[in-house]
Amino acid sequence: MSGKTIRFEDLGEPVQRLLKSIKGGVSDEDMALLEFVSVKDMAKIYGEMSTDRQAKEIWEELRTALQARREKSDKKKAEIDNRVEELEDQRRREEEAERAAEEQERLDREAEEAARQARKEDRRRRRAEAEAAAQAEEEDAAAAAAAEQEAREEEERQAAEEAERKRRDAKRKKREARARELAEEQEALAAEQARSAKKKANQKKEWADYVASHPLDFPDGGAQNIEQVAVEKSTKPPPKITEDLLNRTYTPKCPNCSAKFSKPPTEWDCPLCLKRLKTKVKVWQPDDDSNNCLVCKGSIGRFSRHHCRNCGRLVCNKCCEHKALIPQIGYKDPVKVCNDCAGVGTPSA
């Protein structure tokens, strides 16, 4: 497990706000997990903190994802460390093999030189014996033959030395090329570790850069207040259904089975899909149905669009600041409602 803990002030703004919203704070171990938060995590937190999801629930989901991410990172780091160790061992083995080969070459050269000197002495001895025993012409012929033999052997020796030199040069170049490959691979591994460390260094800047590059999703520069505020269960509930309210309500329609409903089903979940497929499919206005708030008509981005739990329409952050109980459709805890629904009709008893 990593011993590094990121500083709170280096966390992205959505993460800071999420942590401030959690009762009891977080442990040092949890803070160590936060170095694995990505900018996509921050964007998701930004959107969910503006919904009726509880901060604790958002944090538990994030922590589970970060634990899995840390395990994956630790596994990858262990693989890199093992690879670096393998490269180092391989480099040491190759150096030892090269030293042994060089020592053997030195011994071979010394043996060859000793043999050459022995042959030379032998020729001199034979020539001396021939000169002493042979007649004048025989001495000249023997001397010429000995000189010719010596010239041939010298030529062969030089050719062998040249071949040996080329062989050593080829081995040296191969060794240098392999050393460069090992060095480049180690540099690549070190660069990958450096990039990973730099990416985790300051999530706050990473979040600011992400917001600046997504102006449509964050028209307010990501500076809006997305803190969750505790709402007492005595919060004023939405109005009872009236003709005025029904005229504004989005007609519930299931995007999966195309079933339509005269009034919102429990928690806006399609009862047919829930019964047949055991799947919750929301029958409120689809996310891609409009790029404008149905209350103020202003533009809404991917993370600034929400659904009124009473009328089912798409609304922006500013037009869904109210929360209320809607027991008629299964909401027994305060949920988000639009400004229109919060201000029409007579409150239920």
Q: Rounded to an integer, what distance in angstroms lies between the CA atom of residue 309 and that of residue 316? A: 13
The answer to whether 235 and 324 are in contact (CB under 8 A) is: yes
Q: What is the pLDDT of residue 269?
A: 92
Q: Rounded to an integer, what distance in angstroms lies between the CA atom of residue 105 and that of residue 111? A: 10
Q: What superfamily in CATH does domain 243-250+285-342 come from? A: Zinc/RING finger domain, C3HC4 (zinc finger) (3.30.40.10)
CB under 8 Å to 271, separation ≥6 — which residues? 265
Q: What is the pLDDT of residue 270?
A: 93
Determine the 3-state secondary structure of 332 from DSSP.
Answer: strand
Task: Give the residues of the chain that fall short of pLDDT 70.
Answer: 1-5, 24, 52, 134-140, 142, 193, 195-202, 215-250, 344-349
pTM here is 0.44
Q: What is the pLDDT of residue 246?
A: 42
The answer to whether 203 and 15 are in contact (CB under 8 A) is: yes
Determine the 3-state secondary structure of 278 from DSSP.
Answer: coil
